[in-house]
Amino acid sequence: MSQPDLVPLCNVADVDSGPAFKSSKFGGPGDGIRLVRGDNIEPGFLRWTRTRTWPTAELAGHEHLFIEADDLILGMDRPVISAGLKLARVRPADLPALLVQRVARIRPHQVASDYLYHWLSSPQFARHLQMTSTGTQLPHVTLKSIREYPVPRFDAVEERRIVDLLEDHLSRLDAAESLVATSLRRLTSLRRSVLAGLHDGAPTTLGELAIDSGYGTSEKCVPAGPGPAVVRIPNLVDGRIDLSDEKRIASASVDVERYLLAPDDLLIVRTNGSVDLIGRSAVVQYGVDAAFASYLIRYQLRPDRVMPEWVQAMLSTPQVRAKIEKLAASSAGQHNLSLSKLNPLELPVPTVDVQAARLSRLAVIEDQVSRLRVELSTTQSRGVNLRRSLLAAAFSGRLTNSKPQEERWESVRGV
């Protein structure tokens, strides 16, 4: 087979973007034509959970901004993110919709849309966008840099073979990742069921179980500061304290002795914009030498009445979570708990022996969930690497036993 020709993207596709629509005229779902914005773009598809619309009565003059099935949509703001390149294929269910500013529409006219999608999904295109980004506060790529990106052209039969082989391999990879993710969801659901089943015992208020309680320090914290370490909201991980993301008090002279943590202290997130974080809790383990921040509440519990791990588990049950979210509800967007709200919160408290036995049962599930999360993370990392290898092999000719072309393409792109 002959070597492929390299042509600029603009030779095989129209590349355009939309205007900056006036936000004062935006509507909600059902009020007009949907607008394709950067936060609607996920790797591979458009997501419409966050939708803005443009009034149907004001469509005159904007007809050229409609997207069509088989268009490719590319986010132009912050193009390379941890989740991957923001490139999506338009499906019939996405229509009708209009482009907005800093979202590129790539409409193939001399090449198959799926072939072009796979080529632009390559890491080389992501690097190209990153290298050609402009702007400091809000980096974005230009239409010019997208239009100039080289596309390898084989004959139509070879391009079809490349797409078919890629989609066969990638579909199996997607299935493997989906299987692991489904297993994790099922096990997480089982964990919730086990927690709900543990919710049994004499109702006792959190205040009755406490020896002492209070809020943390509001002193400024910085990475590698000279003062003591401070446990913050991100340090509450899976019911324990994780100081891998550590900040310390900015001044060495500040006295925070009354905020220093001890083993078996229970910390609860008391204020946050996320309802999922509010009420999150963790038990301080041995070896944690740190104070705690003002966004947290500390409870020191009566060891003759309750195990701190039991309280932490009960705060995670669906029954208690519903109460916590109701207590913390706020119309201002910032959810808040306080000692006056938490102290009357009733928890089921059986005998300490029963608590220990039930926590042992829960620990078996927790261990399985933890191991499956590690497996899922490993599978996802391998999947990212395998996708890169497949794309590189496909467009170098190795996947279809054609002569490799990487060196020629890299020299043309200047990578």
Q: Report DSSP letters for 296-337, one per residue.
A: EEEEEE-TTT--HHHHHHHHTSHHHHHHHHHHH--TTS-EE-
User: What is the Cα–Cα distance from 321 to 128, expressed in whole angstroms?
Assistant: 46
Contact 54, 108 (CB under 8 A): no
Q: What is the pLDDT of residue 166?
A: 85
Beta bridge partners of 33: 54
> Along the 415 residues of the chain, how does pLDDT read in single tens digits?
456 788 999 999 999 998 888 777 777 666 788 999 888 888 889 998 878 888 888 888 888 999 999 999 998 886 554 345 889 999 999 999 999 988 999 999 989 999 999 999 887 888 888 888 887 666 778 899 999 999 988 888 888 888 888 888 888 888 887 887 787 788 778 878 888 888 888 999 999 999 999 999 999 999 999 999 999 999 999 899 999 999 999 999 999 999 999 999 999 999 888 888 899 999 999 999 999 999 999 999 999 999 999 999 999 998 999 999 999 887 566 789 999 999 999 999 999 999 999 999 888 888 887 887 788 778 777 877 887 787 777 777 676 664 444 444 444 444 4
64, amino acid identity:
H
Q: What is the pLDDT of residue 333?
A: 67
Q: 301: closest CA among 292, 291, 293, 311?
A: 311
Distance of CA 46 to the CA centre of its chain: 16
pTM above 0.75, yes or no: no
Residues 226-257: b if buried by 16+ CB within 10 A, e if exposed:
ebbbbbbbebbeebebebeebbbbeeeebebe
Summarised one tens digit per residue, pLDDT across range 121-171 is 887 888 888 888 887 666 778 899 999 999 988 888 888 888 888 888 888
Angstrom distances, CA of residue 143 to CA of 17, 74, 98: 8, 10, 17
Q: 166: closest CA among 413, 360, 397, 391?
A: 391
Q: Where are the beta strands (DSSP E) in 179-242?
A: 202-205, 210-215, 221-222, 229-231, 236-237, 240-241
Show Cβ contacts of residue 38 under 8 Å, excluding neighbours closer than 6 positions.
Answer: 75, 76, 77, 86, 102, 103
Angstrom distances, CA of residue 224 to CA of 260, 281, 288: 18, 25, 17
Q: 261: closest CA among 239, 293, 304?
A: 293
Contact 209, 349 (CB under 8 A): yes
Beta bridge partners of 300: 212
290, amino acid identity:
A
Contact 72, 87 (CB under 8 A): yes
Contact 85, 43 (CB under 8 A): yes
Provide the token pair at 140: 């974005």
22, amino acid identity:
K
Angstrom distances, CA of residue 386 to CA of 170, 222, 393, 400: 9, 38, 10, 17
Q: Tell the burial category of 139 from Cβ atoms under 10 Å away from its Cβ (0-12, 13-18, 19+).
A: middle
Q: What is the pLDDT of residue 2?
A: 53
- Per the listing, tokens 């702007």 go with 135
Coil, strand, or helix at residue 360? helix
Q: What is the pLDDT of residue 185?
A: 82
